[in-house]
Chains A and B, each alone.
Chain A
Amino acid sequence: MNRFDYARPATLAEAVTAGALPNAAYLASGTNLMDLMKGGVARPSLLVDIGRLPGLDRIELLEDGGARIGAMVRNADLAYHPAFARRFPAVAEALLSGASAQLRNAATTGGNLLQRTRCAYFYDTASACNKRDPGAGCDAVGGENRLHAILGFSAQCIATHPSDFCVPLTALDAVVELLGPQGPREVKLEDFHLLPGSTPERETVLEPGELITAVRLPAAAADFAAHARYVKIRERTSYAFAVVSAAACLRLQGGVVTQARIALGSVALKPWRARAAEAALCGQRADAAAFRQAAETALQDASPSGDNAFKIELARRVVVRALSLAASGTPARLPALPASAFSGEVAHA
Chain B
Amino acid sequence: MSLAITLTINGAQQAIALDDPRITLLDLLRERLDLTGTKKGCDRGQCGACTILVDGRRINSCLALALSHDGADILTIEGVAQGDRLHPVQAAFIAQDGFQCGFCTPGQIMSAIGLIREGQAGDDPERVREAMSGNICRCGAYIGITEAVLEAQRAMMGTAERDAA
A→B interface (CB under 8 Å) = 1, 3-8, 27, 29-31, 34-35, 38-39, 47, 49, 51, 76, 80, 99-103, 105-106, 237-239, 336-338
Do A102 and B124 have beta carbons less than 8 Å apart? no
Q: In the bound complex, what is the Cα–Cα distance between A237 and B135 (angstroms)?
A: 14
CB-nearest residue of chain A to B68: A49
Task: State the Cβ distance, B63 to closest chain A Cβ, in Å.
Answer: 4
Q: In the bound complex, what is the Cα–Cα distance between A7 and B60 (angstroms)?
A: 22
Do B60 and A6 have beta carbons less than 8 Å apart? no
Q: In the bound complex, what is the Cα–Cα distance between A101 and B65 (angstroms)?
A: 19
CB-nearest residue of chain A to B51: A102
Task: State the Cβ distance, B98 to closest chain A Cβ, in Å.
Answer: 17
Q: Given A102-B48, A106-B60, do A49 and B134 touch, yes or no (CB 8 Å)?
A: no
CB-nearest residue of chain A to B119: A80
Do A6 and B45 have beta carbons less than 8 Å apart? no
14 contacts between A and B (CB under 8 A): A4-B21, A6-B21, A39-B44, A80-B120, A100-B48, A100-B133, A101-B115, A101-B118, A101-B134, A102-B58, A103-B45, A105-B59, A106-B64, A337-B130
A239 cross-chain contacts in B, Cβ below 8 A: 133-134
B→A interface (CB under 8 Å) = 1, 20-22, 24, 43-45, 48, 51, 57-60, 62-65, 67-68, 70, 111, 114-115, 118, 120, 124, 126-127, 129-135
- Beyond A30-B63, A30-B65, A101-B132, list 15 extra A-B contacts (CB 8 Å): A5-B1, A6-B67, A8-B70, A29-B63, A30-B68, A31-B45, A34-B24, A38-B44, A47-B65, A51-B68, A101-B115, A102-B59, A103-B60, A237-B133, A337-B130
A35 cross-chain contacts in B, Cβ below 8 A: 44-45, 63
B133 cross-chain contacts in A, Cβ below 8 A: 100-101, 237-239
Task: State the Cβ distance, B106 to closest chain A Cβ, in Å.
Answer: 13
Which of B1, B59, B114, B115 is packed against the most chain A CB atoms within 10 Å?
B59
Task: State the Cβ distance, A334 to closest chain B Cβ, in Å.
Answer: 10
Task: State the Cβ distance, B36 to closest chain A Cβ, in Å.
Answer: 20
Do B22 and A31 have beta carbons less than 8 Å apart? no
Q: In the bound complex, what is the Cα–Cα distance between A284 and B130 (angstroms)?
A: 37
Q: In the bound complex, what is the Cα–Cα distance between A8 and B66 (angstroms)?
A: 13
CB-nearest residue of chain B to A335: B126
Do A99 and B134 have beta carbons less than 8 Å apart? yes
B65 cross-chain contacts in A, Cβ below 8 A: 6, 27, 30, 34, 47, 49
What 7 A-B pairs are tightest by C-beta distance, nearest first?
A100-B134, A238-B133, A336-B126, A239-B133, A34-B63, A105-B57, A6-B21
Do A27 and B68 have beta carbons less than 8 Å apart? yes
Do B63 and A6 have beta carbons less than 8 Å apart? no
Q: In the bound complex, what is the Cα–Cα distance between A38 and B21 (angstroms)?
A: 13
Q: In the bound complex, what is the Cα–Cα distance between A49 and B63 (angstroms)?
A: 14
B131 cross-chain contacts in A, Cβ below 8 A: 101
Q: In the bound complex, what is the Cα–Cα distance between A76 and B59 (angstroms)?
A: 11
Do A5 and B130 have beta carbons less than 8 Å apart? no
Q: In the bound complex, what is the Cα–Cα distance between A30 and B22 (angstroms)?
A: 12
Do A106 and B48 have beta carbons less than 8 Å apart? no
CB-nearest residue of chain B to A100: B134
Do B58 and A101 have beta carbons less than 8 Å apart? yes
A27 cross-chain contacts in B, Cβ below 8 A: 65, 68
Contact of B21 among A3, A102, A238, A337 (CB under 8 A): A3
B120 cross-chain contacts in A, Cβ below 8 A: 80
Q: In the bound complex, what is the Cα–Cα distance between A4 and B1 (angstroms)?
A: 12
Task: State the Cβ distance, A22 to closest chain B Cβ, in Å.
Answer: 18
Do B67 and A49 have beta carbons less than 8 Å apart? yes
B20 cross-chain contacts in A, Cβ below 8 A: 3
CB-nearest residue of chain A to B110: A102
Q: In the bound complex, what is the Cα–Cα distance between A31 and B134 (angstroms)?
A: 13
Q: In the bound complex, what is the Cα–Cα distance between A237 and B134 (angstroms)?
A: 12
B59 cross-chain contacts in A, Cβ below 8 A: 102-103, 105-106
Do A336 and B111 have beta carbons less than 8 Å apart? no
Q: In the bound complex, what is the Cα–Cα distance between A80 and B117 (angstroms)?
A: 13
CB-nearest residue of chain A to B53: A105
B64 cross-chain contacts in A, Cβ below 8 A: 29-30, 34, 106
Q: In the bound complex, what is the Cα–Cα distance between A238 and B136 (angstroms)?
A: 12
Q: Given A31-B45, A34-B63, do A1 and B111 touch, yes or no (CB 8 Å)?
A: no
